Amino acid sequence: MTEAQPIVKCLVWDLDNTLWRGTLVEDGEVVLHEGLREVIVELDARGILQTVASRNDHDHAWGRLEKLGLAEYFVLPRINWGVKSASIRSIADELNFALTTIAFIDDQPAERAEVEFHHPEVRCYPAEEALGLPGRAEFTPPVVTGDARRRRQMYQAGVRRETERTGHTGTDEEFLRSLGLELRIERAGDEAISRVEELTLRTSQMNATGVHYSDAALRGLVADERHEVLVASLTDRFGPHGAIGVILVERRPDTWHIKLLATSCRVVSFGVGTALLRWLSDESARAGVALTAGFRRTDRNRMMEVAYRFAGFHEPSEGAAPQDADGVRTLVLDPVPQEPPGHLRVHAPRLFGPPGEPVPWENATG
């Protein structure tokens, strides 16, 4: 049986005689092919990023896209006189996407052949198939989450955020304080579960165990009163980062056990992992229970190990931490005062009380 191809994460459009009718350098004025605006809007709503690789003068072509009302839909445009394969490689590298998740559409067989020669993993389509792209399986994610629908806007906000960080002349702490960061921790609902599953599957550098929980397993744990499935989201003055963390806590007699903590690598510099561990430590102190955590060292999660150690987690003093069937060790926490981070405003539920709306975190252990 043929293995299913990955869902396309980024579609690269050619312009002349593909997106619009005519050649810009020869015709001057060009018009959009009928029906393509709807295709672009639909793919964007599914969370598929779109960009341009075109042999044209950048200012002239980009100006035309702006007049057509489409420029906002394209991230990382590569409009130059170079080869398309180089543009596509540059786009994939900057997005940190595998070439297997990139697609390219162009009216010229020679341009498609050049890309296929250098990047055989990239899926290439002739221009006449453009209207049918939304109907293809590889352009149809099984689930479209709220984060997916906002993916382009979140990426564009990230570009603006990084531009300001680069130009900032003060300290890192001053820049973080200027962002107005708000971390919100909530019990996972139906829509969040799919994003939570994706985080457990794709996050490796900031995943404490590397254990993947399926959608069905997570939904079962949500319904189990012995477990808390929590999702963390982050916003700042540039806009939302979306769901960036997942916590799975098991309620044991006299102990809360963190079975899983995973955060997106995109927010490492904001100290989110440390903030989540501090909040859990504070909540367990409020409830009068010990806090333990599962950890399994992988070849990529050294940063998460450091975060655990910094928060006060360590192996039991009597010897090596026991391991479960997955090779996950249990770490224990020395109860120490934990102050809320100065650059993050945290809104979170009370885990030991009745359900309710997230409230500002107030330190209980100091």
Choose from 40-54, 135-149, 317-331 the range with maximum mean pLDDT. Answer: 40-54
- In sequence order, the β-bridge partners of residue 258 are 249, 293
CATH number at residue 244: 3.40.630.30
The residue among 139, 166, 196 that closes a domain is 139
Give the domain range for residue 86. 10-139
Do 116 and 150 lie in one domain? The reply is: no
Residue 135: is its pLDDT beyond 50? yes
Q: Residue 136, Cα to own-chain centre: how many angstroms?
A: 24
Residue 266: is its pLDDT beyond 90? no
Do 122 and 18 lie in one domain? The reply is: yes
Would residue 72 be called left, alpha or beta, if left means φ above 0 and alpha means ψ between -120 and 50 degrees? Answer: alpha
**Considering the domain boundaries, does residue 366 fall inside one?**
no
The residue among 118, 139, 160 that closes a domain is 139
pLDDT tens figures, 124-133: 999 999 999 9
Do 55 and 197 lie in one domain? The reply is: no
**Considering the domain boundaries, does residue 310 fall inside one?**
yes
* pLDDT tier for residue 352 given thresholds of 50, 70 and 90: low
pLDDT tens figures, 190-249: 777 777 777 766 665 577 887 888 888 888 998 888 999 999 999 999 988 888 888 999
Do 162 and 88 lie in one domain? The reply is: no
Q: For residue 41, count other CB atoms closer than 10 A to its CB.
A: 12
Do 155 and 254 lie in one domain? The reply is: yes
pLDDT tens figures, 96-120: 889 999 999 999 999 999 999 999 9
Do 229 and 123 lie in one domain? The reply is: no
Do 196 and 176 lie in one domain? The reply is: yes
**Considering the domain boundaries, does residue 34 fall inside one?**
yes
Give the span between the Cα atoms of 129 and 11, in whole angstroms: 13
Q: For residue 70, count other CB atoms closer than 10 A to its CB.
A: 20
Helix axes 215-222, 190-202, angle to 10 degrees: 130
**Considering the domain boundaries, does residue 2 fall inside one?**
no
* pLDDT tier for residue 325 given thresholds of 50, 70 and 90: low
**Considering the domain boundaries, does residue 307 fall inside one?**
yes
The residue among 111, 139, 167 that closes a domain is 139
- pLDDT reported for residue 99: 95
Do 180 and 328 lie in one domain? The reply is: yes
Do 42 and 179 lie in one domain? The reply is: no
CATH number at residue 24: 3.40.50.1000
Give the span between the Cα atoms of 2 and 32, in whole angstroms: 37
**Considering the domain boundaries, does residue 70 fall inside one?**
yes
**Considering the domain boundaries, does residue 5 fall inside one?**
no
Do 238 and 308 lie in one domain? The reply is: yes
Instruction: Report which of residues 277 and 199 the model is more confident about.
Output: 277
Helix H, strand E, coil C: the string for the chain is: CCCCCCCCCEEEECCECCCEECCHHHHCCCEECCCHHHHHHHHHHCCCEEEEEEECCHHHHHHHHHHCCCHHHECCCEEECCCHHHHHHHHHHHHCCCHHHEEEEECCHHHHHHHHHHCCCCEEEEHHHHHHHHHCHHHCCCCCCHHHHCHHHHHHHHHHHHHHHHHCCCCHHHHHHHCCEEEEEEECCHHHHHHHHHHHHHCCCCECCCCCCCHHHHHHHHCCCCEEEEEEEEEECCEEEEEEEEEEEEEECCEEEEEEEEECHHHHHHCHHHHHHHHHHHHHHHHCCEEEEEECCCCCCHHHHHHHHHHCEECCCCCCCCECCCCCEEEEECCCCCCCCCCEEEEECCCCCCCCCCEECCCCCC
The rounded radius of gyration (Å) of the Cα atoms in the chain is: 24
Q: What is the mean pLDDT of the chain?
A: 87
- pLDDT reported for residue 311: 86
Do 226 and 339 lie in one domain? The reply is: yes
Q: Stretch 71-99: mean pLDDT, rounded?
A: 95
Pick the range with the lowest mean pLDDT from 245-259, 275-289, 321-335.
321-335
Give the span between the Cα atoms of 310 and 290, in whole angstroms: 18
**Considering the domain boundaries, does residue 3 fall inside one?**
no
Do 285 and 154 lie in one domain? The reply is: yes
Residue 32: is its pLDDT beyond 70? yes
Domain count of the fold of the chain: 2
Give the span between the Cα atoms of 213 and 227, in whole angstroms: 14
- pLDDT reported for residue 356: 47
